[in-house]
Every structure is written in structure tokens, then in C-alpha cells.
Chain A
Amino acid sequence: MLIVTCIKQVPDTSQVKVDPVTGTLIREGVPFIINPFDTYALEESLILKEKHGFRVAVISMGPPDTEVTLRKALSLGGDEAILLSDRAFGGADTLATSMVLAEAIKKLGKKEEVAIVICGRQTIDGDTAQVGPGIATRLGYSQLTLVDHIFDVDMKAKKIRVRRRLEGRHEIVEAPLPAMIAVLREINRPRYPKVPMRLMAQDATVTLWNNKEMGLREDTIGLKGSATQVRKIFSPRRERGEIIGDGVKNPQASARLLVERLKEKNILNL
């Protein structure tokens, strides 16, 4: 039985800065990392592997250098890594992305039955949380997002029981396998790779599937298969406010001035 973990290599958006003059992104020196939310997905796959003896296949769609991130996943304990890379996959929105990932999972499923697909909650560059549901819908799997705990996987009954976190409440849900689960940060604490594993992973093979291998219709993938288009990109508008007094030399005076200002403008009910 197979667990498929979907990961993405992303620019570390917390290190991206915007040039205040031109309003353009400064990407120089911004490293590519595994999407932080996906580290929890990977960890959960490994926990399930240890408990139930699943094999873990890690898949990622992206440019060729995504191989680096897939190797890291192997060094943590993934059994197989597949890179979905082709220029025809480029420029994909979430609809076209879930197409390629779902088809890759189908392809894996022909060799070995897939029990669970695990995704991170969302990516830090796209922030959509749409690809997981896209995969589940395309494959007809049970869709369980926002999972912060897995109670059990019953392989006899082919069922999974999880806890989902929603606004102001949690839900305990039982669903048949195969299922796609998207996990939250709170679900586990990702492990660090051990040195021997890291060394081993350096020689491990990352399998490349391009579209020759996948054979998908070009109008369902990449830019052509995307329903959404970006019309323009601009930097967020910000209005700079007023700095009140010299808070370093005279914090008391600044505080008093601030409260007076708030009173004048009728902001506080004073």
C-alpha cells in the first residue's frame, strides 16, 4: 500500500523584499525551500509508514532543480521520489496543477494501491489551499482538509478517522479510503534527517516524469490548462502615518500626546 505525499519547492517568501522605489520584488539571494507546510505532510506520511508499513512516494511538480527538495524528502525516509517536470506544465494555476498531480497519483496507483494522499495545508507562495481539494475531487477520494490529528487508519475496514480544525470548533470525521488529507502544523513535529540517510539520499534516484511519460492533453495542463490568468501585479499601497513625539527621550510625553490625539479624533470613547 502506498502513501503519496505532495510537496512543493517554494521561494522563502519571508525573505522576499520589495524595492521601495521601483515597487519590484527583490529576489536576489532568496533561497528555495520545501514549502514549510509540506514538512508536516511528509512527517505524517513517515509516522503512518512506521505504524502501518506503507510505502511513501513523494511527488512534486516544478522546475528541474526541484530534485534537490525531493532528495531531502528521501533523506527523511521517503521510499520513492517523482519529479513532474516539463515545460508544458509551467505557468499552471491550481486547476492545472491538480491535474498533473492527480494523474501522477493515478499512474502510481496502477503499480501499487494508493491508500492516502497527504498534502500540506497550503503553500507559502500561492497560499491558496486549493490543490489538495483539486486532487481529491479529480480522483474521487475522500477529502479531509485542516486535519490536526489522525486517530487511526483501519486497513481492514478501509477507513480513516481524523480530527479537523475549523473556526471555533473541531470535527471528528470518519471517511473511507482512499483519502486525501491536508494537514495542519499542529499535527506533528517534523524530524531532522540523520547523517547516514542524508548521504544515502545523495545517490538515490529521483524519477523524472515529463509529459511524454504522462501523456496529458496540452490544453489541460500548464498555462493552457489554467482557468485563471494574472492580469497585473503591483506593490501594495501603504500610507505612512504620523510619528508622535520623541518616544525614546520622552516616552511619557509621547504617550500623552497620543492619547490626546485619540481623544481629539474621537477614536477612544473618552
Chain B
Amino acid sequence: MEEKKKIGKPRGVAQLIPDKCIACGARCQSSCPEDAIEMNNKGEPIINIEKCIGCRRCVKVCPADALEMFYTSEEKKLLLEIAASSSGPDTKQVSIEEATAKAETKEYKGVWVFVEHAEGEPAAVSWELLGAGAKLAKSLGVELCSVVIGDKVEDLCKESFAYGASRVYLIDAPVFHYYRTETYNKAICYLVNKYKSEILLMGATGTGRDLAGAVATKLNTGLTADCTSLDVDDRGNLLQTRPAFGGNIMATIFTEHTRPQMSTVRPHVMMLPRKVTSRKGEIVRESFSIKEEDVDVKVLEVIKDKGSGCDLAAAEVIVSGGRGMQGSENFGMLQHLADELGGVVGCSRAVVEAGWMGAERQVGQTGKTVRPKIYIACGISGAIQHLVGMQSSDVIIAINHDKNAPIFEVATYGIVGDVFQVVPAILNNIRELRAGNTCSVSEQITGKE
């Protein structure tokens, strides 16, 4: 598009603002129509100002706002003059492709939540997503629906209503007894193509992530993993915020031109909405099915984990230990405190790697995300990878000898000191208080040590 020229309006050249580039993966270079950008080995752009035509594409595409337009002082003066003399703002022309894309995305309506279950046993994250989905549906003025696929799973429809869905799309057939990527992917794509949802949410669980990645690829649409907050902008786009770079920064991501907009959310990130069993809704039964003989993947066996007695995700109190615990033998102390508070023991990644605790107890980015009422971090410095897994806990108590440990930045209460002195002291104080309150001392001591 040629610019109409009266006086040549200076276009300037793009320049990098120092320290703002995050090495996102060369979005600027990729957007440049003139090949004016080279990347250095740190992943930052080097702009060839001889080639730059001042089209601003790289500036617009930079997620970190690390690029800006540079004008010489004469150009700046000229710009000011033009601004002063111009009669009105340029009317922006929307390209035809953009307009059709917008019209097409408009056809898609409704917020959908995939109800995950293992042989009929629902994953609570589905209900948490209905809670989050309800807010989105309200802002958009659309319906909140759930998608139930399985074998004899009509119960899950009633539960969906109880947690806020007003409509359920149900596909119920023996071939869907076990989750298999291929069958569930086909079923969901069938529903989306038929009913056109604008948003599709799934749990960031093993199954949810397996399915979401396949569905988004098949539907050729955008998918954002592990969102920690969901919102809607003034044009109705879903704003998906998630940790990036190992949790060091947060990124807000959106899918502009394709539908549905898909997100996964980890368990315990969103609040579980109140269950109202009297709520009713509409069930849309779909007879879509696949012949078992056409599916080559077979689930031969499901082995339930023998309860190690530890359900971190469901615990209201978690007493967690880090490298500062110095050895597996010292975790008994944390167990006593956890027992006293009716909680469980968790740990940081370093502890699992040292072999002091099993991986099922790991809290953090590569472990579990938890949201207990009380999280007590003992000897955990608080690497960002740990913090992203527990920072939405209601109350965080941190005990660490290093007053500069990052854990204190998220802690509600902190004690700088030796865990081996502080933890037993806390335990004693709680026991004394409880003993002094209602129960007899003998009751308190029974079963403990």
C-alpha cells in the first residue's frame, strides 16, 4: 500500500530498547518484510537501518514491547508539523481477509468445558473450570456448556448442571469407556464442528493435555497451556495468562483469528464453585460413535496407584521441606507437624532429585500445583519453579535461615532461623495451645510419638 504523499511523512526506523528483549523466538525477524533483522546469538534482533522501511510490523509483534520507532530530530520536527496541520485522523481500512475472519469467528458461540473422568470418575478440575467458564460466559453473554464423553456417564451431566453448566453435549457409547486420544479427539471435533463453540477449556492434567494438543491441531486453532487466569477483552477475545520462561514472567496470550479458543488450566488454580444439586439444564445427546474394530489403540490394563497415603492436591495443610532439611531422616519432624495439623508432607524438586522423597510429593512446575489453606515451607529457598506451584495457597508460612530467600516474598508469615529449632518449637506451641484449650493432655499424646 503506497502512502499518499503531500509531504513525505517520515516513517523512521525500528530500534531495540536495551534490556527489554526476552528472546521470544525471533517474532520480529519473522514479521519483517524486508529481511532487515538478523538475530544475534542471544536471540536479540539486530536491525539493519539501511533496509528498514519503518513499517512497524516488528514493533507491533514484539510481545515484550522491546522495539520502538526511532526518528531523527528533523524527522521529529516534521512529524510535529504534520500533526499540527493535519485535518483529521487517517481512517483505518480493515482488510477484506480481516473482515471475513472476524465474521467467521462470530459464528462461534458459547463457552465449553470438557468434563474429564477416568471410567466415570470425574476429575475435580472439570468443575473448577465450570466456575471459571461461568465468569467468561457471563462477560460474553453466552451459554456455559459442558462436554461429556464416555460410557454410561449420564451422571456427569447432572453434576455439570450442579456446578453451573446450562447445557451438556453428551456422547455416550462403550467405545468411549477408556480415554483414548483418537476416539475422544474425533468426538470433540465432531461436536465443535457441529455446534461451534468459541471457547473450549480443559484441565491441564495428563489426559487433558494429551487431548487438548490433539484437538487444537485437528481444528487448526490456538491452544494455551497451564493458564492461571482467564478473562475476556472488549472485543470478546479470550485473554489467557500463563507463566512463561519457567515461571519467571507471565504472558497474556490470545487467539485472534481462529475458533474455538482453547486453554488448559491446572487443577486447584481456579476455585471450585458451589455445588447446587437442584440446578437443571438441557442434555443434547449425540449418537456419534466409532466402531471398536476401527480403533487400533487398546488400553490393556489400568493400575490404580496404591495410595501412598498422600494426596497432595486434596490436602488442606501441606508441610513442605526443601534442600534445607539436609536429609530424608529429618522429614519425620515435618510429618509430626503435618499430623498435628491434619495435613500431609510435600517437598521441592531438589528433595526428589536427592532421593529423600518420592516424586508424588513434589510441589512445583514439574510436580503438582497445590492450593491448600496453609502451606508451610521449611528449608525451601523458593525457586520460581517451586513458587508457581504453591503461591496461590491461602496462607504461606516460610521458615528459612536465609533472610534473602525468595520464599519470603510470597510468604504471609516468615521466620528467619534454623528449621531444626523453629519447626519443633512451632509444634510444641500448637500442642500446648490445644492441650490448654479443650482436649485432655492424654488425648493429645495418644498416637503421637
Q: How far is the CA of A147 from the CA of B247 in the complex (A)?
A: 25
| Contact with A133, one of B217, B395, B437 (Cβ below 8 angstroms) | B217
Indicate if A52 sits at the interface (CB-CB under 8 A): no
Indicate if A143 sits at the interface (CB-CB under 8 A): yes
Contacts of A270 in B (CB 8 A): 430, 433-434, 437
Contacts of A22 in B (CB 8 A): 19
Task: Indicate if the CB atoms of B413 and A130 lie closer than 8 Å.
Answer: no
Contacts of B408 in A (CB 8 A): 240-241, 243
Contacts of B383 in A (CB 8 A): 14
Task: Indicate if the CB atoms of A172 and B429 lie closer than 8 Å.
Answer: no
Indicate if A176 sits at the interface (CB-CB under 8 A): yes
Number of interface residues of B (CB under 8 A): 107
Taking the closest CB of chain B, its distance from the CB of A28, in whole angstroms, is 8
Contacts of B107 in A (CB 8 A): none
Most B C-beta atoms less than 10 A away, residue of A165, A233, A238: A233
Indicate if B354 sits at the interface (CB-CB under 8 A): no
Task: Indicate if the CB atoms of A133 and B213 lie closer than 8 Å.
Answer: yes
Contacts of A65 in B (CB 8 A): 41
Task: Indicate if the CB atoms of A233 and B26 lie closer than 8 Å.
Answer: no
Indicate if A50 sits at the interface (CB-CB under 8 A): no
Taking the closest CB of chain A, its distance from the CB of B248, in whole angstroms, is 5
Q: How far is the CA of A110 from the CA of B212 in the complex (A)?
A: 29
| Contact with B256, one of A89, A132, A229 (Cβ below 8 angstroms) | A229
Q: How far is the CA of A18 from the CA of B220 in the complex (A)?
A: 34
Taking the closest CB of chain B, its distance from the CB of A223, in whole angstroms, is 4
Contacts of B255 in A (CB 8 A): 227-229
Residue-wise, chain B 243-279 has the 8 Å CB interface mask toward A (1 for contact) of 1111111111111111000000000000000000000
Contacts of B296 in A (CB 8 A): 142, 175-176
Q: Which of A145-172 contact B (CB under 8 A)?
A: 145-146, 161, 164-172
**Beyond the given A127-B225, A230-B27, A248-B401, could you list 14 further A-B residue pairs with CB under 8 A, ordered by the A residue number?**
A19-B19, A24-B20, A90-B27, A90-B39, A95-B223, A128-B213, A130-B225, A176-B297, A233-B22, A233-B63, A235-B248, A242-B413, A243-B408, A254-B415
- Smallest CB-CB A-B distances: 9 pairs: A247-B417, A13-B246, A133-B213, A90-B26, A255-B425, A227-B222, A230-B63, A91-B27, A90-B30
